[in-house]
Protein backbone atom coordinates (compact mmCIF):
# COMPACT_ATOMS: atom_id res chain seq x y z
CA UNK A 1 0.00 0.00 0.00
CA UNK A 2 2.74 2.47 0.90
CA UNK A 3 4.55 1.70 -2.34
CA UNK A 4 1.46 2.88 -4.22
CA UNK A 5 1.83 6.33 -2.66
CA UNK A 6 5.41 6.51 -3.93
CA UNK A 7 4.33 5.42 -7.39
CA UNK A 8 1.55 8.01 -7.37
CA UNK A 9 3.95 10.77 -6.37
CA UNK A 10 6.38 9.78 -9.12
CA UNK A 11 3.52 9.83 -11.62
CA UNK A 12 2.45 13.26 -10.36
CA UNK A 13 6.03 14.51 -10.70
CA UNK A 14 6.11 13.26 -14.28
CA UNK A 15 2.88 15.04 -15.13
CA UNK A 16 4.17 18.25 -13.56
CA UNK A 17 7.47 18.03 -15.46
CA UNK A 18 5.53 17.57 -18.68
CA UNK A 19 3.43 20.62 -17.89
CA UNK A 20 6.52 22.66 -17.08
CA UNK A 21 8.15 21.62 -20.34
CA UNK A 22 5.03 22.50 -22.31
CA UNK A 23 4.60 25.92 -20.66
CA UNK A 24 8.25 26.96 -20.87
CA UNK A 25 7.92 28.83 -24.19
CA UNK A 26 4.82 30.78 -23.20
CA UNK A 27 4.94 31.50 -19.46
CA UNK A 28 8.27 30.87 -17.81
CA UNK A 29 7.03 31.81 -14.32
CA UNK A 30 4.31 29.16 -14.35
CA UNK A 31 6.79 26.63 -15.73
CA UNK A 32 9.16 27.34 -12.85
CA UNK A 33 6.34 26.88 -10.34
CA UNK A 34 5.41 23.55 -11.94
CA UNK A 35 9.06 22.51 -11.90
CA UNK A 36 9.36 23.27 -8.19
CA UNK A 37 6.19 21.31 -7.50
CA UNK A 38 7.59 18.41 -9.53
CA UNK A 39 10.76 18.45 -7.45
CA UNK A 40 8.71 18.44 -4.25
CA UNK A 41 6.62 15.51 -5.49
CA UNK A 42 9.72 13.56 -6.52
CA UNK A 43 11.41 14.31 -3.20
CA UNK A 44 8.30 13.23 -1.34
CA UNK A 45 8.22 10.00 -3.30
CA UNK A 46 11.82 9.23 -2.42
CA UNK A 47 11.29 10.13 1.23
CA UNK A 48 8.12 8.03 1.41
CA UNK A 49 9.83 5.06 -0.24
CA UNK A 50 12.86 5.24 2.06
CA UNK A 51 10.64 5.36 5.14
CA UNK A 52 9.16 1.93 4.38
Per-residue pLDDT of the chain in tens (52 residues, 90 and over written 9): 778 999 999 999 999 999 999 999 999 999 999 999 999 999 999 999 998 7
* Residues spanned by the domain of 39: 2-50
Alpha carbon 25 to chain centroid, angstroms: 20
Count of domains observed in the chain: 1
pLDDT, position 45: 95
CA separation (Å) from 28 to 14, 20, 32, 40, 45? 18, 8, 6, 18, 25
Amino acid sequence: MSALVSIGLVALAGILVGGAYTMWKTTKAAAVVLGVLALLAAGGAVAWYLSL
